Chains A and B, each alone.
Chain A
Amino acid sequence: MNQLWLWIVISLAIGIISAFVFTSAVNRMAEVPEDTTDNAAGISKLSNIALNTVVFSILSFLIVWLIMAVLQRGPYAVM
């Protein structure tokens, strides 16, 4: 498997998990009921999760990339 795809999949997975955890933690702190029946609030919550997923996925990708770059240091480099 191409490593770039592996990193993207890992980053997306971490991003989705982080977004759910982060969004529910923020909602709990703001005392927003989890089980809302209000349509607008539901859509807003979904868009929050989607936005957080994107943000966390990008962050995770950068962190994974940085870790791999550090791990891959060696005396020989392709020119």
Chain B
Amino acid sequence: MTRLKIGDEWWTAPAEGEDGNLVIVTGRSKVEPVMESGRFNDRVEVTWKYTPAEGGMPDDATARLMEQVDMALRGEFARDAVAVITGIYTGGGERNWVFYVSSLHSFQYRFNHALEPFETLPLTIYAEHDPEWNEYREMRSQTEIDEGE
């Protein structure tokens, strides 16, 4: 089996949420090999709702914990091709991680494994079949800033 080359380059851009709040979008670039492999057909959205501080962002303590969780998830899913994190949205009282997944069963196992060191977090996980990567394409078209700009 050939290994997929997954880029680890990210862009960050401000956007406006549905309720007009500021949302910081962090998107992953150079994921075309994964997208075109046809294996990552399910989209999983992990949502962490928090009490928003000023501007809809998390307070310092929550932000630090989120950063640790973020690192744990990136570390877990960097090792093999079960899931790829493609976007992270923060703002309006919630943080969302968007994954494209090749196996929901394996993803669930790996996700629980990654978050074992933490107390149980207020996370909800939603999955949807999205073989065309519509969410990712929409995020990219609306928020990606070309390096040349």
Pairwise interchain contact B120-A77, C-beta atoms closer than 8 A: no
Given contacts A3-B105, A72-B112, contact A78 B44 (CB under 8 A): yes
Which of A4, A68, A76 is close to B125, meaning CB atoms less than 8 Å apart?
A76
A-B contact count (CB 8 A): 43
Tell yes or no: A79 within 8 A of B by CB.
Answer: yes
Known: A2-B103, A3-B103. A77 touches B127 (CB 8 A): no
A23 to B106, CA, bound (A): 36
Q: Are B125 and A77 in contact (CB under 8 A)?
A: yes
Q: Known contacts A76-B115, A79-B125, A79-B126; is A3 also within 8 Å of B106 by CB?
A: yes
The B contact surface, by secondary structure, is mixed
| Contact in complex: B103, A78 (CB < 8 Å) | no
Q: When the two chains form their complex, are residues B105 and A75 in contact, meaning their CB atoms are under 8 A apart?
A: no
Q: Does A33 contact B (CB under 8 A)?
A: no
A68 to B105, CA, bound (A): 10
CB neighbours (8 Å) of A74 from chain B are: 108-109, 111-113, 115-116
Enumerate B22-66 residues with CB–CB distance to A below 8 Å: 44
Q: Which residues of B contact A77 (CB under 8 A)?
A: 108, 125
The contact of B104 among A1, A68, A76, A78, by CB within 8 Å, is A78
Q: Are A76 and B108 in contact (CB under 8 A)?
A: yes
- Cβ < 8 Å to A, chain B residues 112-130: 112-113, 115-116, 120, 123-127
User: Chain A residues with Cβ under 8 A from B123's Cβ?
Assistant: 76
Residues on the A chain within 8 Å of B120, using CB = 75
Give the B-binding residues of A (Cβ under 8 A). Answer: 1-4, 68, 71-79
16 further contact pairs, Cβ within 8 A, besides A73-B112, A75-B120, A77-B125: A2-B102, A3-B103, A3-B105, A3-B106, A71-B109, A72-B109, A75-B115, A76-B111, A76-B123, A78-B44, A78-B107, A78-B125, A78-B126, A79-B124, A79-B125, A79-B126
